[in-house]
């Protein structure tokens, strides 16, 4: 930064490489920009911001040509220059910013030899000047954003930083305009060649449309069948084959083009097996390729590697019965097609793994809910899409046996949702043990509340050295023997609060105090505080929802926002019954980074 009267002694001139004002590249950029002495609203705003934020009488967006400077943005310039919106270079400080590509900071122009005889001093009254360069993407200085005072002024560091920031914003605006011009030229070029390429573009668009349709496939055989139908209706397109890497060994002899594409992970093609000259991406062993297709009428071959997120998946082989020379666009489209195939293949493999996991988890995790007259309930379990594919979440519901001497309640149903820490097979195994032991504890403690039952369960796990740790909520739904009204008593071990939807659509979060909430279970060796129960009345027609933390704890999303979204879903769906509630939860919250479990119970009206 050249500073006169600020950071350097008056009169000191730095020796910097100079840029010619008539440089052809700079002149071309100015012409493309299209800004002249005519007022430009955006540039006017930058000038106004400089004037207002620095408190100067004059501010300019100045673009410097070989013989003058023009002001598409200005404020405070005196006449006749304000009407002209330009000055010759004899009145220009900004030219020095352009030629040096450096900011120019002057406290008193009368004392600086570089500009003391500049006519801007005598005719425009310029005393203090601060200007920062405005550049294009190539670094060429087109002009400057400057602040001018009519009295000597010591520019503070804060003012210079502010002006530099404004100049950066203005520069970005100019660059954006030039980028838009480049884009427009590209569009015009495309339009000029559109007629010549119309047939090829139509073919490419069709291939892209077919490739996008692969997103509908859910199995590997379905993907292969969809690919085989690509040949329909395309003249000369004979066949398309997907060769998976896992099938290379032991498979029928593969084309040399397929093997080369797989080995080098690049597109390989030969436009005409009868012509040695049409081979932009040639096959190393053309004789072997010709021998491989000697009896099938193939004239052109294109092989594209299918690359997944974890590495190569295989090769897509496309065969033509006519010569087929690909241009640059078709090279791109072929690679795009292979990319769609990779996505569809990985999705099919993912679904197959998830189906296998779901089958394994059915016996170990999914409970058959009891059939309680006039107390409909439903549950769902959606495994996470993580690599482990199994987890420790569970739900359960059991009808507890009558308690001798209990005349207050004639029906008690225990419901629970929990999550054993971990997302692997051991976690699922521990979960199965924990769920069974919690059931046993509920049966072994007749007449006791959920907190007592849960504490008994924890102590049994510790005594049997079962390392079950996690969060859970255990609730007893109790029907009054005298009135038929329902209530719920529950305890929580660090678990998300249950939700209750009332008949009018109001949804309550059953949040507990820090004392009542309780710590995660399985840590009695460091935390042995007694757990507590909480009880609420459940109005007729209400729905109770228990769920796992995988529903609301989503990376990148706020917990309260997810809770609100879950509450809104419950309010909307609860009148349709528990099954509709859990189905909607599966659809909206499943397939995330954690298991999703939900259990809904509707109180009879």
The 10s digit of each residue's pLDDT in 450-495 is 999 988 888 888 888 888 888 899 999 999 989 999 999 999 988 9
Residue 146's pLDDT band (cuts 50, 70, 90): very high
- In words, the CATH class of domain 217-357 is alpha beta
* DSSP bridge pairs for 382: 596
Say yes or no to pLDDT of 309 above 60.
Answer: yes
Q: How far from the centroid of its chain's Cα atoms is residue 310's Cα?
A: 19
**497: buried, middle or exposed (CB in 10 Å: 19+, 13-18, 0-12)?**
middle
Beta strands in 107-261 (DSSP E): 128-135, 141-149, 237-244
Token pair for 59:
């501010």
Collect contacts of 501-507 with beta carbons under 8 A, ≥24 apart: 501/542, 501/543, 501/545, 501/570, 501/571, 501/574, 502/539, 502/541, 502/542, 503/539, 503/540, 503/541, 503/542, 503/605, 505/571, 505/574, 505/575, 506/571, 507/567, 507/568, 507/570, 507/571
Please state the rounded mean pLDDT for residues 129-154.
94
Strand order in the sheet with 268-270: 237-244, 311-320, 300-308, 268-270
pLDDT of 450 reads 93
Please tell me what DSSP assigns to residue 138. Answer: T
Q: What pLDDT digit, counting tens, does each position of 529-559 carry?
A: 788 899 999 999 999 999 998 888 888 788 8
Q: What pLDDT digit, counting tens, does each position of 240-293 carry?
A: 888 888 777 766 788 888 888 888 888 888 888 887 765 566 788 888 888 888
Strand order in the sheet with 543-547: 377-382, 596-602, 543-547, 499-501, 507-509
Other CB atoms within 10 A of residue 426 CB = 12
Rg of the chain, C-alpha, whole Å = 38
**Complete DSSP assignment for 471-485:** EEEEEEEEEETTT--
* CA-closest candidate to residue 49, choices 135, 181, 147: 147
Q: What pLDDT digit, counting tens, does each position of 428-443 carry?
A: 777 778 888 888 988 8
Compute the mean pLDDT over every residue in the chain, rounded to the nearest whole number.
84
Q: What pLDDT digit, counting tens, does each position of 196-214 carry?
A: 667 566 656 665 666 667 7
| 2-182 and 365-602 agree in CATH topology | no
Helix (H), strand (E) at residue 201: helix 157-213
* CB distance 523 to 575 below 8 Å: no
- pTM for the full model? 0.46
Say yes or no to pLDDT of 357 above 80.
Answer: no
d(CA 105, CA 2): 6
d(CA 177, CA 200): 32
Helix (H), strand (E) at residue 220: helix 220-228
Please state the rounded mean pLDDT for residues 391-415.
87
Three-class DSSP category at 59 = strand
Kindly report which listed range (41-50, 342-351, 556-565) carries the lowest average pLDDT score.
342-351
Q: How far from the centroid of its chain's Cα atoms is residue 557's Cα?
A: 12
* CA-closest candidate to residue 492, choices 516, 508, 509, 476: 516
pLDDT of 595 reads 81
d(CA 532, CA 525): 18
Residues with Cβ < 8 Å from 475, sequence gap 6 or more? Answer: 414, 415, 416, 450, 488, 489, 490, 491, 498, 544, 546
The CATH code for residues 365-602 is: 3.60.40.10
Please state the rounded mean pLDDT for residues 489-507.
92
Topology annotation, domain 2-182 = Beta-Lactamase (3.30.450)
pLDDT of 77 reads 93
The residues spanned by each domain of the chain are: 2-182, 217-357, 365-602
**412: buried, middle or exposed (CB in 10 Å: 19+, 13-18, 0-12)?**
buried
* CB distance 399 to 375 below 8 Å: no
**Complete DSSP assignment for 75-131:** ESPPTTHHHHTEEEGGG-SHHHHHHHTS-EEES-GGG-TTTTT-HHHHHS---EEEE
């Amino acid at each position: 930064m050249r500073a006169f009267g600020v950071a350097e002694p008056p009169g000191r001139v730095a020796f910097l490489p100079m840029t010619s004002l008539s440089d052809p590249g700079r002149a071309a950029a100015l012409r493309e920009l299209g800004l002249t002495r005519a007022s430009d609203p955006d540039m006017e705003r930058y000038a106004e911001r400089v004037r207002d934020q620095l408190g100067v009488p004059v501010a300019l967006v100045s673009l410097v040509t070989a013989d003058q400077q023009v002001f598409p943005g200005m404020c405070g310039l005196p006449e006749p220059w304000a009407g002209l919106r330009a000055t010759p270079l004899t009145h220009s400080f900004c030219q020095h910013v352009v030629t040096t590509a450096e900011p120019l900071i002057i406290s008193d122009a009368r004392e600086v030899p570089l500009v003391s005889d500049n006519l801007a001093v005598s005719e425009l009254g310029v005393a203090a000047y601060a200007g920062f360069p405005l550049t294009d993407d190539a670094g060429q200085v087109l002009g400057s954003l400057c602040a001018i005072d009519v009295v000597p002024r010591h520019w503070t560091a804060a003012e210079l930083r502010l002006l530099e920031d404004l100049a950066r914003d203005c520069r970005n605006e100019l660059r954006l305009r030039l980028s838009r011009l480049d884009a427009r030229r590209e569009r015009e070029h495309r339009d000029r060649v559109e007629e010549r390429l119309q047939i090829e573009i139509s073919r490419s668009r069709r291939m892209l449309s077919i490739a996008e349709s692969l997103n509908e496939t859910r199995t590997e055989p379905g993907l292969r069948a969809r690919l085989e139908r690509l040949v329909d209706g395309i003249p000369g397109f004979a066949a398309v084959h997907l060769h998976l890497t896992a099938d290379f060994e032991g498979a029928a002899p593969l084309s040399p083009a397929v093997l080369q594409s797989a080995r080098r992970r690049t597109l390989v093609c030969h436009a005409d097996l009868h012509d040695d000259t049409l081979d932009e991406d040639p096959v190393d062993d053309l004789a072997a390729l010709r021998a491989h297709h000697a009896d099938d009428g193939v004239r052109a071959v294109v092989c594209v590697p299918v690359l997944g997120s974890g590495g190569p998946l295989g090769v897509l082989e496309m065969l033509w019965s006519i010569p087929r020379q690909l241009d640059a666009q078709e090279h791109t489209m072929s690679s795009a097609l292979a990319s769609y195939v990779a996505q569809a293949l990985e999705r099919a493999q993912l679904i197959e793994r998830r189906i296998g996991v779901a089958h394994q988890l059915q016996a170990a995790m999914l409970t058959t809910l009891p059939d309680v007259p006039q107390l409909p309930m439903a549950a769902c379990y959606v495994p996470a899409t993580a690599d482990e594919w199994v987890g420790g979440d569970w739900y359960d519901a059991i009808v507890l046996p009558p308690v001798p001497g209990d005349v207050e309640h004639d029906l008690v149903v225990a419901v629970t949702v929990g999550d054993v820490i971990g997302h692997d097979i051991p976690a699922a195994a521990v979960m199965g043990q924990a769920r069974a032991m919690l059931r046993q504890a509920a049966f072994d403690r007749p007449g006791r509340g959920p907190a007592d039952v849960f504490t008994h369960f924890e102590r049994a796990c510790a005594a049997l050295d079962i390392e079950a740790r996690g969060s859970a909520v255990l609730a007893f739904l109790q029907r009054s023997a005298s009135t038929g009204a329902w209530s719920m008593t529950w305890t929580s071990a660090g678990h998300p609060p249950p939700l209750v939807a009332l008949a009018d659509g109001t949804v309550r979060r059953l949040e507990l105090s820090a004392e009542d909430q309780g710590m995660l279970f399985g840590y009695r060796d460091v935390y042995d505080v007694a757990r507590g129960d909480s009880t609420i009345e459940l109005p007729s027609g209400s729905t109770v929802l228990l769920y796992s933390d995988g529903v609301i704890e989503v990376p990148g999303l706020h917990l309260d926002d997810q809770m609100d979204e879950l509450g809104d879903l419950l309010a909307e769906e609860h009148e349709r019954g528990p099954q509709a509630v859990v189905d909607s939860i599966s659809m909206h919250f499943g397939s995330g980074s954690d298991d999703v479990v939900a259990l809904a119970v509707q109180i009879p009206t």
